[in-house]
Amino acid sequence: MRKLTRSFYLFFISLSIFAQQNRMWVPSDAQKAYYQMMEKGARFSLDDLYHPEKPSFNDAIVQFNGGCTAEIISPQGLILTNHHCGYGIIQSLSSLEHNYVEDGFWAGSYEEELPAPGAYVTFVRRIVNVTQQVLQGVSDDMSPERRQSVVDKNIAKLKQEIQTEPWQYVEIKPYLYGNIYYALVKEDYKDIRLVGAPPSSVGKFGADTDNWMWPRHSGDFSLFRIYAAPDNRPAEYSPDNVPYRPEKYFKVSLDGVKEGDLILVYGFPGRTQQYLPSFAVEHVTQTLNPVRIDIRQRALDIMDKYMRSNDTLKLKYTSTYARVANYWKKWKGENLGIKKSNAIENKRYIEKLFLQQAGTNGFGEEAGRVLEALKQAYNELEAPDLARNIFIETMYVNNDWMRRAFLIYQWENLHGDNYAQRKAKILDRIRSAFNRTDNRVSKELFIRMMAYYKQKMPEAYKNKTLFEKNIILWADEIEKTSLLADSSKINRLALMDYNKFQEALKNDSGYNLARTLIDDYYGKIAPEQSRVKEKINNLMRVYTKLLMQSGLYKDMVPDANSTLRLSFGEVRGYEPRDGVYYEPVSTLDGVMEKYIPGDYEFDLPEQLLKLYEQKDFGNYETGGTVPVNFLGTAHTTGGNSGSPAINAKGELVGINFDRVWEGTMSDLFYDPKICRNIMVDMRYVMFVIDKLGKAQNLVNEIIQNQ
Ligand code: ARG
Ligand code: GLU
């Protein structure tokens, strides 16, 4: 009897496990996904999804500033992305007189749009599977080094051969650990201007408390415009540039969504690791995550204490706090989700099936060998990877003084072309780092972080002599004497000739400490970690190839790698815990329920309160309120922020910006029961632009194409 129950159980999990495969399809190879979308009611064509010659969705989607995603929503090159993606730009264009972060910004005309120096967007015009050409002459018995050199040569040759326009360039990237290669023909547009942003109280409503959470009520969007040369080609910023005329843009739909509707999310997901074996997931969730969470918790506590005590400090640390808190919270959710979805057991079960299947098909021995080798490699990885993570978290992410030392380290090692220009850039970064920190906080962070380093750094990587010194004395010394804590010393340093500069660095005990540790990192920790990582990558290539051969997965869609992907699903609520069901749509009523006057996370603009009171919802009303956010089952990750959420008609109904907490483990293990992506409803976006921003020009531009 027990046996029967158990085999039933296995049968059911095997059904669900293989539903958790990666769902981020490469657009040029998405026929299968397209047929599934058709079954769910898609009315756009396969050619709409992607076509190398005809205008298609990919022509209306760009990578925004190297990280996020944005989409074109008008014939004049207007693009929509998240507020948190535009935040850095909005902040840098703000001043005390014009505080666009606080108050929002709405350009009334092209002339009022604000150039964002350094910002750029990237189009992917063509995607070509070049696996055969790249792997030409590669054989299974080659050493990894030999293999890589053949691959590199083939790639170099291919790049020459692929035809592009003069303003385009080619990138060739490995997918599925180098079992597959695609060539991507890209274009960068570098004249990007800010067009609109809601006040932060709307754009980041709920801030860190609501981050990674549902129910959510955030108006996380901002608007930019792509500018081009008069011939519509990419150009550096110039006042003579004109709004870009796109080959394709999305029509904004005010139809909204309801549970069960098809939703297509199309963008640039950064990194997932769906095919990791069980012990690798253990490495991430049981070795790395607890340490990273622990370190960040300490740093957040310190920042929070000072931010609460002093408004200037609050202003200085707000964005650092948000950045640190974002992944701190994500990792916590990830560990919960891994547990809740039995991911590790499920992975073990996959491995068992894999070995069985391989045995039946005559490659059992090879399969056994590769899994065993991977297991050993993960044992080998533990110490250097832990060391690397402790180093990065305690010396870089959460330590103002030491983070600054990295910039000085770059400066010290600067030589060759464009010296002056590169030095000026580094100096800019050092100065802006000083503007965003305060020695009271930095000192306490330093003490806490170095104490952690001293205590937790694996023995083999710890610099024992260095840590004989008392950390508090160190901190005092840095505070009193070091250029790490004194911007005027940096200014003086900038004016010195090379010998004096060297001399000054040599005499700075704070910087010397940092340099010793940084040298340890580059000399020992990083090389060892990447040596083992490299080995793992090669084994993962073989493992995923055999997994493919085993036929266990219907489709082995490659992990995210910051390239253009599409993922579809439907609008759907979820059950985070027993007895709790979350509806998939939130509304303005919920915004008002969360409203706390004067609170830094839950305050609201007065005008919004008025609109709500007067029920002045315009065309954006439904059921007596305005829909704000909604949930979907699309598989997304970091980098998908700003991605268009497209309905069955191929129209824009939302903009992706987050995932739910219980489902953040989808980077490692996608569980359709609890993994949800979160989107802003376009009706809320338009409501804010129209009623709150009163930007009639933008409403006309966006809606004129309806
Ligand atoms: N969690 C979302 C994403 O990963 C939104 C982040 C916005 N930042 C924040 N700390 N609230 O990036
Ligand atoms: N907020 C994330 C980003 O900035 C997207 C959310 C996620 O990781 O799914 O890309």
What are the tens digits of pLDDT across the range 646-696?
999 999 999 999 999 999 999 999 999 999 999 999 999 999 999 999 999
Q: Tens of pLDDT along 160-200?
A: 999 999 999 999 999 999 999 999 999 999 999 999 999 99
Can you tell me the distance from the alpha carbon of 76 to that of 186, in angstroms, rounded to the nearest whole number?
Answer: 20
Q: Tens of pLDDT along 522-561?
A: 999 999 999 999 999 999 999 999 999 998 888 899 999 9
Q: Considering the chain, what percentage of its residues have pLDDT values greater than 90? A: 89
Determine the pLDDT at residue 353.
93
Can you tell me the distance from the alpha carbon of 116 to that of 65, in angstroms, rounded to the nearest whole number?
Answer: 11
Provide mean pLDDT across the span 241-252: 98
Provide mean pLDDT across the span 271-292: 97
Q: Tens of pLDDT along 348-371?
A: 999 999 999 999 999 999 999 999
Q: Which residues of 233-244 are buried (b: 16+ CB within 10 A; e: fewer)?
A: ebbebeeebbbb
Does residue 51 carry a catalytic annotation? no
The residue whose C-alpha atom lies closest to atom 5 belonging to ligand 1 is: 658
Determine the pLDDT at residue 19.
59
Determine the pLDDT at residue 15.
53
667 close to ligand 1 (CB < 6 Angstrom): no
Determine the distance separating the centroid of ligand 2 and the alpha carbon of 634, expressed in angstroms.
Answer: 13
Q: What is the DSSP string of 679-696?
A: EEEHHHHHHIIIIIS--H
* CB contact set of 329 (below 8 Å; sequence gap of 6+): 208, 211, 212, 661
Provide mean pLDDT across the span 417-432: 92
* CB contact set of 228 (below 8 Å; sequence gap of 6+): 77, 189, 191, 234, 235, 241, 242, 243, 244, 245
Q: How open is the CA angle 166-169-173, to the nearest 5 degrees?
A: 165
The residue whose C-alpha atom lies closest to atom 9 belonging to ligand 2 is: 637
Determine the pLDDT at residue 465.
84
Q: What is the DSSP string of 333-365?
A: HHHHHHHHTTHHHHHHHHHHHHHHHHHHTT-HH
Determine the pLDDT at residue 97.
86
User: CB within 6 Å of ligand 2 — which residues?
Assistant: 68, 636-641, 657-659
- Of 442, 550, 641, 666, the active-site residue reads 641
Q: Tens of pLDDT along 370-395?
A: 999 999 999 999 999 999 999 999 99
Determine the pLDDT at residue 116.
96
Does residue 550 carry a catalytic annotation? no
Can you tell me the distance from the alpha carbon of 375 to that of 659, in angstroms, rounded to the nearest whole number?
Answer: 31
The residue whose C-alpha atom lies closest to atom 1 belonging to ligand 2 is: 658
Res. 49 pLDDT band, cuts 50 70 90: very high
Can you tell me the distance from the alpha carbon of 664 to that of 600, in angstroms, rounded to the nearest whole number?
Answer: 26
Partners of 658 in the β-ladder: 678
Q: What is the DSSP string of 615-656?
A: T--GGG-BTTB-EEEEEE-----TT-TT-EEE-TTS-EEEEE
Q: Which ligand lies nearest to the CA atom of residue 268 in the structure? A: 2
Q: Are 197 and 104 in contact (CB under 8 A)?
A: yes
Task: Output the pTM of the full model.
Answer: 0.94
Least trusted range by pLDDT, from 7-11, 34-38, 551-555, 558-562 = 7-11
Query: What's the Cα-to-Cα distance from 597 to each of 175, 182, 200, 593, 600, rounded to whole Å?
Result: 49, 52, 14, 11, 9
Determine the distance separating the centroid of ligand 1 and the alpha carbon of 124, expressed in angstroms.
Answer: 25
Q: Are 381 and 283 in contact (CB under 8 A)?
A: yes
Provide mean pLDDT across the span 88-108: 92
Determine the pLDDT at residue 1.
44
CA 517 to chain centre: 28
- The ligand 1 atom at the shortest distance from the C-alpha of residue 659 is 1
Does residue 220 carry a catalytic annotation? yes
Q: Which ligand lies nearest to the CA atom of residue 87 in the structure? A: 1
Can you tell me the distance from the alpha carbon of 60 to that of 540, in angstroms, rounded to the nearest whole number?
Answer: 34
208 close to ligand 1 (CB < 6 Angstrom): yes
84 close to ligand 1 (CB < 6 Angstrom): yes
- State residue 240 phi and psi, 5-degree precision: -85, -10
pLDDT score of 11 more than 60:
no
- Of 84, 217, 283, 635, the active-site residue reads 84
Query: What's the Cα-to-Cα distance from 231 to each of 114, 167, 242, 245, rounded to whole Å?
Result: 22, 12, 9, 10
pLDDT score of 20 more than 70:
no
Q: To test ligand 1's pocket by mutation, which of 204, 211, 303, 637 has the most ligand atoms within 8 angstroms of CB?
A: 211
392: left (phi > 0), else alpha (psi -120 to 50), else beta? alpha
Determine the distance separating the centroid of ligand 1 and the alpha carbon of 29, expressed in angstroms.
Answer: 30
